[in-house]
Structure 1
Amino acid sequence: MHFDIPDLRLFIHVAEASSLTGGARRANLSTAAASMRIKSLEGQLGSRLFYRDSQGVELTPAGHDLLTHARAIMRQVEYIKDEFSQYAEGESGHLRIFANTTAVSDFMPDVLARFLVSRPGVTIDLQERLTHDIIRGVIDGSTDLGVVAGPVKPNKKLEVIPFSVDRLVLVTSKDHELAERKSISFKETLSYPHIGLREGSTLFNFLKDQASEAGVALQMRIQVFGFESACRMVSRGVGIGILPRSIAHRYEEFMDIASIDLEDTWAERERSLIVREFDALPRCGKELVEEIRS
């Protein structure tokens, strides 16, 4: 048995008007179209809903029962519309975001703090993932939004929205022999012990792949959880590290570290937001995209 909301609404209009013509007028239908819908509804229920005469229509006992249920259903529909209008207006909602290491550790906390403080009804699930997992998550719908760095292969199931540039630099202690260099190739750095992020982080996997392409092993002295820990290790001369320039500049203010530009073309990576379909995002999702882009 299948009920259409418009048919139930029409039934209520006809019952309240005690007239097929009056009910049809309220539903913006012709009398003939309204009559066909009522007959179809009666056919689905296997019950006569109205007595018809020259004066109009009168509810049958089955019609009275249906009217009670139909009004309850329509009230529930209105409750649902009211509740979900808050989501459509961006006042409420939930977003899941898959992002790379830099995004999760660097700029996303500040962006999300600004965004959430003015939207108390919105909740966000931010998860650090590898780039291929982020892309797969957006495609299969397990996340609403992805944040990646570097090129994204064209895919008709993705919309890619660039928003900034992320440049990787070499970070050393101020007294390191490389600290005075203006620039250096990544391959040159591979003869020194590196400090990196934990196994499985987006940045670690990316650098491991670049070292493999250069035909040199990446010597990891220690792997740590987070950029601040990496910079502290570097400042004390434990090793060198490859980090985002924004991170290096932040910690240069109060740690004894220096940053040197990498000469490799891949060192400059475009940051992008990826979504399956921007227009399908809830309003709060669209607003977050604009917040990140700004």
Structure 2
Amino acid sequence: MHIDLRDLRLFIHIAESKSLTRAAERSHLSLPAVSARVKELEAQAGVRLLYRAPRGVALTPAGQTLLQHARSILAQVEHMKSDLQRYGEGVQGHIRLFANTTAITEFLPEVLATFLAAHPQVDVDLQERLTGEIIRGVLDGTTDLGIVSGPVDVDGLDKLHFSTDQLILALPPGHPLAQRERLRFAEAMDYDYIGLHEGSTLATFMDGLMQKSRHKLHIRVQVSNFESVCRMVEAGVGIGIVPASAARRHSHTMKIVTRPLDEPWALRERYLLTRRGDSLPAFTLALIEAIVAFPGHRDSRAA
């Protein structure tokens, strides 16, 4: 099946205007030419893409699918043009990095600030993704590097362990659980919780944990980062689960109590992922070295 990018743009115009005539005007084509192109698209796809009516057109289910792909493809083309243009302006390297929530909020800002200052002609495209998406992205080449927490055993990947963190319970002073030195998670399930936004790595991990235990946490508030979780905990809105590294940093400026969780899943090993057999550019290897050497990784586990 061969589809011209101009046909995809035309199809988007048709979908947005719901009219062959208006799409023809936007595309600077005659109406017969637009009709012919749509017929050719339908012939190549082997399905009807449009419902035609006296007052315009509507997309069939197949047309809706084509529209989604067309927008995605053209967005990628524009992204490619932008990347290539930057090379023409002097950029010598581009690294795409998929990482989980903890990495993006807790240590990558400092690592990237130092790295980019030392490598002014390198750009980094940092994207927050879930663990499964990170692994798939590294395997299929969508991303150059991935950062995950937890066990990874996938053929085709090289993994480099670079730090250890631990999930802990953050509590307001005076909370009943604050008197305990260590806690099992089951003892804290029935309290009000502060959760991260849906789609974050930790929120997805906790949802999976709850499904296995056939329990549901009472999430009073969902916030966008660990600092906001700790602020809500300090205010007494609820309790929260956060990495020990984040809790330690925010406990210097907030009145919160932290307690270790006596659970095997609470220990979180961090790994850098690359695709096995890939020959990485020197600037990518330099970023890996910067991540591994970051001093903030030391002593990340709860005491």
Same-fold call, TM cutoff 0.5: yes
For residues 92 and 285 of structure 1, the distance between their equivalents in structure 2, rounded to whole angstroms, comes to 12
Which structure has the larger Rg? Answer: 1
Residue aligning to 1:251? 250
What SS class does the counterpart of residue 246 from structure 1 fall into? helix
Q: For structure 2, list consecutive stretches of 5 or more residues without a partner in the other structure.
A: 1-86, 294-303
SS in 2 for 1:147: strand
One-letter amino acid matched to 2:101: T
Q: How many angstroms does 1:214 deviate by?
A: 2.1
- Indicate whether 1:265 and 2:264 are aligned: yes
Aligned counterpart, 1:98 = 98
Residue 275 of structure 2 is matched in structure 1 by 276
Matches within 5 A, 1:117-266: 117-155=117-155, 157-266=156-265
- Per-residue deviation, 1:279: 5.0
1:24-173 to 2 correspondences below 5 Å:
92-155=92-155, 157-173=156-172
Q: Secondary structure at the match of 1:179?
A: helix
Q: Quick check: 1:187–1:214 contact (8 Å CA) kept in 2?
A: no
Deviations 1:183-207 (A, max 9, x none): 1111211111110100010001101
Provide the rounded CA distance (Å) in 1 between the counterparts of 2:277 and 2:290.
14
Work out the CA distance in 2 between the residues paired with 1:288 and 1:148: 16
User: Quick one: which amino acid aligns to residue 251 of structure 2?
Assistant: E
4+ residue stretches of structure 1 with deviation over 3 A? Answer: none
* Residue type of the alignment partner of 2:267: E
- Unaligned runs of 5+ residues in structure 1 are 1-86
Task: Determine the C-alpha separation between the residues in 1 that align with 2:280 and 2:205.
Answer: 30
Cα distance between partner residues in 1 of 2:277 and 2:161? 13
CA contact (8 A) 1:187 1:216 kept: no
121-130 vs 91-100, which moves further: 91-100
| Alpha-carbon distance change, 278 to 111 in structure 1, aligned in 2, over 3 angstroms | farther
TM-superposed deviation, 1:212: 1.9
- RMSD (Å), alpha carbons: 1.4
CA distance, structure 2, for counterparts of residue 216 and residue 169 of structure 1: 19
Give the Cα–Cα distance (whole angstroms) in 2 for the partners of residues 288 and 99 of structure 1: 14
Cα shift readout 1:78-133 (whole Å, capped 9, x = no counterpart): xxxxxxxxx9xxx9310000000000111011111111111110100100000000
The corresponding residue for 2:64 is: none
Query: Any idea what SS the aligned residue of 1:223 has?
Result: strand
SS, match of residue 184 in structure 1: coil
Amino acid at match of 2:126: L
The offset of 1:287, in angstroms, is 1.0
Number of equivalenced pairs: 204
TM-score using structure 1 length: 0.67
How big is the shift at 1:282?
A: 1.1
Overall identity of the aligned pairs, in %: 49
